[in-house]
């Protein structure tokens, strides 16, 4: 454990940031599962809506630094393939 005040503050900040990043990546995974279930059910409208929400979440996570830009691009490409399979 840190003894220096600035390091204690930095540790607390790092934990807060880690939790926020974890929340964003978890949300992206949840939206992926929703998109896949809509695609498997054959519901094109629901799949299109879930795809739109997923891409929005991925863009926000990339913008805030929770995901690397290449990782976000790869996830969006994968989502597009899932949507195309549903159509």
Pick the CATH number of 5-86 from 3.40.50.880, 1.20.58.110, 3.90.105.10, 3.30.450.20: 1.20.58.110
CA 28 to chain centre: 3
pLDDT of the chain, 87 residues: tens digit per residue = 788 999 999 999 999 999 999 999 999 999 999 999 999 999 999 999 999 999 999 999 999 999 999 999 999 999 999 999 987
- pTM attached to this predicted model: 0.88
Residue keyed to tokens 């540790």: 11
Q: Hey, where are the domains in the chain? A: 5-86
Helices (H), the chain: 5-41, 44-64, 69-86
> Please, are residues 35 and 54 in contact by the beta-carbon 8 Å criterion?
yes
Beta-carbon count within 10 A of 67 CB: 22
């Amino acid at each position: 454990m840190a003894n220096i005040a600035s390091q204690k503050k930095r540790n607390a900040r790092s934990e807060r940031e880690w939790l926020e990043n974890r929340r964003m990546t978890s949300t992206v995974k949840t939206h992926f599962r929703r998109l896949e279930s809509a695609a498997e059910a054959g519901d094109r409208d629901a799949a299109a809506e879930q795809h739109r929400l997923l891409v929005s979440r991925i863009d926000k996570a990339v913008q805030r630094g929770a995901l690397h830009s290449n990782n976000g691009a790869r996830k969006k490409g994968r989502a597009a393939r899932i949507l195309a399979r549903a159509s």
